[in-house]
Structure 1
Amino acid sequence: MKWKMTGLFLVPLLLMTVAFTAINLIAAFYFLSGAEDPEERISAPFFSYTNYTLDFARFITFVEGKPSITKEGQAELIQRKAWIQILDRNGNEAYSLHRPKSAPVRYTPGELVHHYKYSGSIEDSTLFVSWISKGSEKWTYIIGYPVSHIAKYMIDFSPLRIMNFWKEGILTVLGLTFLMVLTIGYFFGRKLTKPLVEIINGIKLLAQGRYIVKYQSEGLYKDVYQSLNQLADALQTSAVQRARMEKMRDEWVTNLSHDIKTPLASIQGYGEVLADPEYDITVDERRKYAEIIVDKTRYMESLLDDLRLTYQLKNHLLPLNKKEGNIVETLREIIIDLLNDPQYESHKVEFLPKCEQVFLVFDHGFLTRAFTNLIYNAVIHNSQDTRVQIQVTERETAVEIIVEDNGRGIEKEEVEKLFTRYYRGTNTNERHQGSGLGMAIAKQIIEAHQGTIEVKSQVGEGTRICILFPRKAKEPPGR
């Protein structure tokens, strides 16, 4: 793949080199060539000052043996910003038009050659020379053009050497050019394609589920490397969470199956006793067995109700009947019901509201269930001498409810899983006949009331659960 990508880079580069060479040749002909048609030389892109000077003789006339320029020729010189001198056979000026002050009126052959050869020798002018015959007389004329329009630079060369150099030299130059292009293109292509190969291999690893992609975020593809690293981290995190969820789901299914299997076994056993015609049971035994069957059935029904409720809350399928009520009174009723239970009447549960009336808009039934789960968990997962406090504080923009205990605390790993739907804590001193959905349901109900819940716990020191319900700020007096 690396060589393929390098080749894909080098082929366009070679084509560009060929095209660039062709453009240079065309440009050379463009600037050095001239139009052959005299009428098109002024407007033609390939204009030749040499040919133009040679053809300018058609604008030279003679009056009584004296040279002169036609009006058309004068207009041509003005358009070209040029000047002209016409010399007799001795090099003396016989006619001039727009001649610079520094231009001599007499030229020796050597001076004429010097001024023709070097641009700028006469007031930044480039001179072109030709002649015209009139009878037996020959008249030399000099036309000077601005250096900014045309310039001449003389070079010395050997035609014989050029003829010998043509084949070997041109081929050598082209060969060296292509070799240089290939060398530069190869190293540049490697530098350009190597990161692409790494990126493609990284994507292949991600597609195979191997989230080990880690690149140094640098160079031309810095942003791509950063994105790949972030993608690998996100996929790795997702895979870990997915594995964790699968494990918790398996544990939940195992626990729920066990919890259902136990009451089913009781129901089946007592049902078979009641249905056995050969077994003679008393009225008290029949009533006792029937009560056990009803109790186990209700327990199974409760498990299924919890499961259905958590999915309804998760998918927002359960409408809440919200009404304004006193949350302090609701919490007091929950605590009274708890302490009235003979199983928990000896536990230390303290209710510490900052005021007796704190009004919120909430669904009484569901919020009662949520706080019942939270408070009961604080009681049943700690020893009998643990002190549980429930505090209610009314703030300007929120109502804060804290359920705090000084019990055994919760491990950090368990705190992170506490509100997971498939998790059932093990930090309890008795067998808890729950479905593992109680805390998840409590969190979902609180969030359905736009509230938030946060848990902080330290092993050996206790657990603190903070619930916040937002509310509109009270209007200032007089408004």
Structure 2
Amino acid sequence: MKSIKRRLTFHFSFQFIAIIACVCCVLFCALMFLAYYLSKQDIKRDLPSGSLSVLTGDTTVEGGKATVSDDLAKQLKQEGLWYQVLNKQGKVIGEVNSPKDLPKHYGLSELLEMDKTKKFKGYNVVTELDTFLTTPTYYILGYKSDLKEQLYALYAKYNKQSVPPKSDIPLIKKALKEKDASLQILNEKGDILASIRMPKEKTRYDPLEIISRKIEQDKYDSTVTVFHDSKKKISWVFYTPNNYQSITDESIIRKAWMISIIVAVSVLIATITFSIWNAFRYGGPLLLFTSWLGRMGSGNYSEVLTEKERKRVFRKNGKVRFQYRLYSEVITAFYEMAEQLSLAEKERKQLETTREEWMTGISHDLRTPLSTIQGYGHMLESGYYNWNEEELKEIGQTLRDKSEYMVGLVEDFSLAFKLKNNVVALETKKVDVHQLLQHIVLKFVNDRTIKNVQFSYVPVHLQPFIQADTRWFERMVDNLIFNAIKHNPENTTITILTVLKSDHVLITIQDDGIGMDKETQKNLFDRYYRGTNTTEKTEGAGLGMSIAKAICELHKGHIEVKSTPNQGTAITLHIPLSTNQQPG
């Protein structure tokens, strides 16, 4: 699951960084657009005098040449302005809409005169020197103002007195009409001394009113041109139509609000879209997992995915779709868990069946000897029969055999429980396999109670040694041999073989009897899969086979069964060899 942790960490970190980057990008673009809009409005507001700083910011000086954007160059031409950029030596390194009579190189005297008079060759000029982080660069913005010159000539001609005489008023009015202009004459206090071609709405101005109208001309429908006579303390204020675009109807604040609203709506839409995408991306798999858990909670382990869900999760080529790829390990884990739960459920049902059979077998095996003991008890208690000494001995022998069988059965049951819970401690030592198996086989050969069974022992040529507890090891082999005796007819041959395989010795108990079917082989070592009767030894019971398997596993080995019906059975023990194969 480490890979999914890394993938989720990377996925959400990347999303977080991407969201921050997108928001920053949107805000940056909005601010840049607002700055661009404000600069455009600044140019429109007072292009001749207020736009040089914008031009200098837009001018790129690189490789000894200066350039401006096409939009600004186009606007300069539309407004009838010219623009030049000079280097440290006074050479023109960039220009827009420059008249032909302007020089390509400026001398010191020309620049000083231009800076002092703000005029050059009949043009009004605005200049600026830039020394920030670069070599000194001089910027010149020039324009021709015929109207201003004409207004100044009118002012100079009739400004002989504080207020023109009545005889001059018609001449002034005619000249103003030709220029579509109007005039107000103010004293030092702002009182209106005369108004020509202007309605008499006011009698005086506050000191800052005229200054405000002169600076923020775009807010008004007329442009103000002021000529001041410092000696007479008289100001002539000319009003002419405003040729620049008005932004009265749509102020900068309103534009800024519109931009803010657009940005906010865009961010909101992007956030909603991202939330919906995340809901499908992460909510879909979670809903799918919920339906899985619901089915598994109801015990339906075989159907992890319905056919519809399988098509949603997997492509036709079997690969997980993009939406669910983030949880591919989880999907795999769900499948594995479902398989394990399904297997556990099958094993539980099998265990329940085995337990019932086991309890049935134990009840049957205990009931039979108990019935015999109970019957003899009633007969002895009744006093109805007269028993001779030989009959009493026979009854006593039967009672002892039945009780010994019951004790052995209970001991086996207790041993099986201990082996299951790993509470049996082995006392192992290095044992010669040949000697141990010879001893066990001879014990069966010499047992007079076992009739019509042939035994054969085929040892390996080498002398193998194992680490074993001889008591429990002998019990294990006894149980396997008794099983072969019990479940086969008379004249069966039982062969014990030993074979060496690298670091293991293989001990095989083989018979040529009736064999077993697949179901019997599968349940051979289940506790009490086969019952017994009181005339048989408990070592051959299903309990004995379970004990044999547990003892084999305690010796770090495993047991294998091969059988074919009517051909016989071979049970092989795989026991690890001792690390030291030297005798003693």
TM-score by length of 2: 0.55
Partner of 1:108: 99
**In the alignment, which of 492, 499, 505 is matched to residue 399 of structure 1?**
505
Aligned partner of 1:283: which letter?
E
Is contact 1:53–1:143 with CA below 8 Å preserved after alignment? no
Cα distance in 2 for partners of 1:338, 1:192 equals 70
Is contact 1:414–1:425 with CA below 8 Å preserved after alignment? no
In the TM superposition, what are the counterparts of 1:250-329 in structure 2 within 5 Å?
250-329=356-435
Question: Residue 54 and residue 388 in structure 1: after superposition, are their counterparts in 2 closer, same or farther (change >3 A)?
Answer: closer
Post-superposition shift, 1:456? 1.6
Partner of 1:209: 299
Post-superposition shift, 1:229? 1.1
Larger-Rg structure: 2
Question: Residue 356 and residue 405 in structure 1: after superposition, are their counterparts in 2 closer, same or farther (change >3 A)?
Answer: same
| Secondary structure in 1 matching 2:542 | coil
Post-superposition shift, 1:193? 2.3
Cα distance in 2 for partners of 1:105, 1:446 equals 102
Question: Residue 99 and residue 412 in structure 1: after superposition, are their counterparts in 2 closer, same or farther (change >3 A)?
Answer: farther
Cα distance in 2 for partners of 1:96, 1:322 equals 103
Cα distance in 2 for partners of 1:32, 1:286 equals 122
Q: Aligned pair 1:195/2:285, yes or no?
A: yes
Post-superposition shift, 1:373? 1.0
Cα distance in 1 for partners of 2:355, 2:102 equals 107
RMSD: 5.0
Partner of 2:126: 140
Identity of aligned pairs, percent? 27
Question: Residue 103 and residue 368 in structure 1: after superposition, are their counterparts in 2 closer, same or farther (change >3 A)?
Answer: closer
1:20-45 alpha-carbon deviations (Å, 9 max, x no partner): 679734653368559xxxxxxxxxxx
Is contact 2:525–2:542 with CA below 8 Å preserved after alignment? no
1:149-187 alpha-carbon deviations (Å, 9 max, x no partner): xxxxxxxx9979979x98999989977886687567546
In the TM superposition, what are the counterparts of 1:125-164 in structure 2 within 5 Å?
134=117, 139-141=125-127
For structure 2, the 5+ residue unaligned runs are: 1-14, 37-48, 56-60, 67-80, 104-113, 135-244, 315-319
Question: Residue 320 and residue 460 in structure 1: after superposition, are their counterparts in 2 closer, same or farther (change >3 A)?
Answer: same
**In the alignment, which of 482, 486, 498 is matched to residue 380 of structure 1?**
486
In the TM superposition, what are the counterparts of 1:65-144 in structure 2 within 5 Å?
97=88, 102-103=93-94, 107-108=98-99, 134=117, 139-141=125-127
**In the alignment, which of 338, 357, 360 is matched to residue 444 of structure 2?**
338
Aligned partner of 1:141: which letter?
T
Question: Residue 186 and residue 54 in structure 1: after superposition, are their counterparts in 2 closer, same or farther (change >3 A)?
Answer: closer
Partner of 1:424: 530
1:412-431 alpha-carbon deviations (Å, 9 max, x no partner): 222222222242279x9x97
Is contact 1:338–1:345 with CA below 8 Å preserved after alignment? no
Q: Aligned pair 1:24/2:26, yes or no?
A: yes
Post-superposition shift, 1:17? 9.4
Q: Aligned pair 1:442/2:533, yes or no?
A: no
Is contact 2:83–2:95 with CA below 8 Å preserved after alignment? no
How many residues are treated as equivalent by the alignment? 392
Is contact 2:559–2:572 with CA below 8 Å preserved after alignment? yes
Cα distance in 1 for partners of 2:528, 2:20 equals 70
For structure 1, the 5+ residue unaligned runs are: 1-12, 35-49, 57-77, 84-89, 113-130, 149-156
| Secondary structure in 2 matching 1:241 | helix
Cα distance in 2 for partners of 1:170, 1:55 equals 24
Is 93-102 or 237-246 further displaced after alignment?
A: 93-102
Partner of 1:409: 515
| Secondary structure in 1 matching 2:386 | coil
Aligned partner of 1:97: which letter?
K
Cα distance in 1 for partners of 2:386, 2:87 equals 152
Aligned partner of 2:296: which letter?
L
Question: Residue 345 and residue 54 in structure 1: after superposition, are their counterparts in 2 closer, same or farther (change >3 A)?
Answer: closer
Aligned partner of 1:454: which letter?
E
Aligned partner of 1:243: which letter?
K
Cα distance in 1 for partners of 2:96, 2:23 equals 47
Is contact 2:562–2:570 with CA below 8 Å preserved after alignment? yes
Question: Residue 109 and residue 319 in structure 1: after superposition, are their counterparts in 2 closer, same or farther (change >3 A)?
Answer: same
| Secondary structure in 2 matching 1:231 | helix
Aligned partner of 1:195: which letter?
P
TM-score by length of 1: 0.66
Question: Residue 107 and residue 360 in structure 1: after superposition, are their counterparts in 2 closer, same or farther (change >3 A)?
Answer: closer
Cα distance in 2 for partners of 1:440, 1:287 equals 36
**In the alignment, which of 443, 466, 479 is matched to residue 572 of structure 2?**
466
Question: Residue 440 and residue 95 in structure 1: after superposition, are their counterparts in 2 closer, same or farther (change >3 A)?
Answer: closer
Aligned partner of 1:465: which letter?
I
Is contact 1:410–1:458 with CA below 8 Å preserved after alignment? yes
In the TM superposition, what are the counterparts of 1:347-358 in structure 2 within 5 Å?
347-355=453-461, 357-358=463-464
